Chains A and B, each alone.
Chain A
Amino acid sequence: MEGALSISSKENRQIRAPGDGPLLRVAGLSKFYGARTGCADVSFDLWPGEVLGIVGESGSGKSTLLSCLAGHLTPDRGQVIFETREGPRDTVAMAEPERRLLGRTDWAFVHQNPRDGLRMGVSAGGNVGERLMAVGARNFGAIRETAADWLGRVEIDAARIDDRPRQFSGGMQQRLQIARNLVTGPRLVFMDEPTGGLDVSVQARLLDLLRGLVRDMGLAVIIVTHDLAVARLLAHRLMVMKDGRVIEQGLTDQVLDDPQAAYTQLLVSSVLQV
């Protein structure tokens, strides 16, 4: 299993997407917190290389949905079928060790707050190398070389490989988190407000970087955001959520330029124009 995993980061991932079907098929996914609804009856397909945006206001169930998809929360109902290298599998019914292996090989999760996704006491190189070592890389030189390469790809000076994330700015920390996640060449990336808490110019640079990486690596991405501009820039397709339900979905430009649901219209018109 581990032998099949290449740690080379330069490979073109698109060739590897198995089959022609969707990468992820979600059917009837529901999560309840007691009597309250986290998310209810969410269904969608995600294709290889596709970027799906999930938008909605705070408390609309976006993050609950993302956590259920990524296996951090156990949904109460529904299926999340992922096209693994061995064929389609329901990740909800999967055993914990398998899900964890998936979590450090084919999947990646970028947290809103880099402190949740990074080890703050471990050097940048160690942070990037952790996933490699977790899947069995045992050559220090090779791990370090890959880490340096990835720091370069997220525009962090390779001379800072032994610095700890604490000494990095917020934008750098977020880029480091992205490098740490993408180093094993995942096929599906979950992002929870990746640009939250950054100032606009740093946001712009990060978005630019993300767009480049997504295109080059052919990543499928599910990105949760409340920032419609981010959704417009990154997402091919958009899902609008309110009170735990999907109220509208379609191509990004279509949803944003011609919103049908009343709530989506409100959301789009609430954006401040500069």
Chain B
Amino acid sequence: MNAPHHDPDYNFAYLDEQTKRMIRRAILKGIAVPGYQVPFASREMPMPYGWGTGGVQVTAACLVPEDRLKVIDQGADDTTNAVSIRRFFQRTAGVEATEKTTEASVIQTRHRIPETPLTEGQILVYQVPIPEPLRFLEPRESETRRMHALADYGLMHVKLYEDIARHGAIATSYAYPVEVEGRYVMDPSPIPKFDNPKLGGNPAIQLFGAGREQRIYALPPYTAVRSLDFEDYPFEPSKANHDCDLCGASGSYLDEVITDDQGSRMFVCSDTDYCETRRNAGHRGRLSPEEAR
């Protein structure tokens, strides 16, 4: 088609067409079997493992020239990882980039789900370091695969049991295991458990790519997702017990920033776009510069 101005030395979105087809087949299979980890022939990418090689490949396979891409790292649009990946696709695919959650058609994320609710037609791509939720309990891949096949998930609760026995509460605060449509137990990538409730019933397509581990899995729109817990220790999404110091939001996930060596600190939304949108709409927090003046 009328390929917009991407670097002509690269194929559209860096990967060759056959590779993208292979990844799309894995994505389609993942969507057909929600929560199931589909093996795929992960390629070397021009970045180190752990920097989102899986997410980048999934994004590359999803992109069309008309897409508008948003990349976030821990909720922020302006961190090194996010900036590099955004530039990478601007150069190799020539797609438009945005920081607005509402305007993006494809969002690649590391460790967060945007605060602004997603809508139908959007694709959220997660970067996943370790896709296997049972990995630290059962080191054998052959065995974990069999456990998934037989839905033999008693071990997952042993982990939560150990948490409560040792810490008095479920201390797992990120990569909190979920059960998808009453079948597969899935690692939601290292998002804070605060974001877990947004996984289920989400109108957007959620795709998970693990480059080093060569796995892709997916949650189609409006999938039922339940965070594992005990009857007497129910799942609780948690966040810092503060309001955002810049925009005053009380319901968003916060980063703690140490501001001097006297113990002062501030809490700010980890989702920079959400915070900025609220500030532009006139919301103010405890440390907003306007009020300091």
Contacts and interface: CB of A to CB of B under 8 A. Distances in A.
B161 A126 contact: yes
Contact of A133 (B154, B166, B232, B233): B154
B228 to A, nearest CB: 9
27 contacts: A97-B151, A97-B152, A119-B137, A119-B158, A123-B162, A123-B165, A125-B161, A125-B165, A129-B161, A130-B154, A130-B155, A133-B154, A133-B158, A133-B161, A134-B152, A134-B153, A134-B154, A134-B155, A135-B154, A138-B157, A138-B230, A139-B230, A139-B231, A139-B232, A140-B161, A143-B161, A162-B166
A218 B157 CA distance: 30
A99 to B, nearest CB: 10
Contacts of A138: 157, 229-231
Q: Determine the interface band of chain A, counting residues with CB < 8 A from chain B.
A: 20 to 34
A140 B150 contact: no
A96 B213 CA distance: 27
A140 B232 contact: yes
Given A139-B230, A139-B231, A144 B157 contact: no
B231 to A, nearest CB: 5
A144 B154 contact: no
Interface in B130-172: 137, 150-155, 157-158, 161-162, 164-166
A168 to B, nearest CB: 16
Given A96-B150, A133-B154, A138-B231, 11 more contacts: A97-B150, A100-B150, A129-B161, A130-B154, A130-B155, A134-B153, A138-B157, A139-B230, A139-B232, A140-B161, A140-B231
A126 B162 contact: yes
Contact of B162 (A97, A122, A139, A141): A122
Interface of chain A: mostly helix, strand, loop or mixed: helix
Nearest to B229: A138
Interface of B: 137, 150-155, 157-158, 161-162, 164-166, 229-233
Contacts of B229: 138
A65 B153 CA distance: 29
A143 to B, nearest CB: 7
Nearest to A96: B150
A130 B158 contact: yes
B248 to A, nearest CB: 37
A237 interface: no
Nearest to A133: B157
A129 B158 contact: yes
Given A119-B158, A122-B158, A144-B165, A100 B231 contact: no
Contacts of A111: none
Interface in A159-179: 161-162
A268 B166 CA distance: 51
Contacts of B154: 104, 130-131, 133-135
A204 B229 CA distance: 42
Interface in A186-204: none
Contacts of B161: 125-126, 129, 133, 140, 143
B191 to A, nearest CB: 24
Contacts of B164: 140
A124 B153 CA distance: 19
Given A126-B165, A162-B165, A140 B233 contact: yes
Nearest to B153: A134
A161 B151 CA distance: 28
A141 B151 CA distance: 24
Contacts of B165: 123, 125-126, 144, 161-162
Contacts of B231: 138-140
A97 B161 CA distance: 24
- Which of A123, A129, A133, A162 lies at the interface centre, i.e. has the most chain B CB atoms within 10 A of its CB? A133
A104 to B, nearest CB: 7
A100 B147 CA distance: 10
Contacts of A161: 165
Contacts of B153: 134
Contacts of A134: 152-155
Contacts of A141: 232
A126 B159 CA distance: 8
Interface string A76-114: 000000000000000000001100100010000000000
A135 B155 CA distance: 11
B61 to A, nearest CB: 34
A124 B77 CA distance: 46
Nearest to B147: A100
For the complex of A and B, list the 3 residue pairs with the smallest distance between their C-beta atoms, beginning with the closest: A134-B154, A133-B157, A140-B230
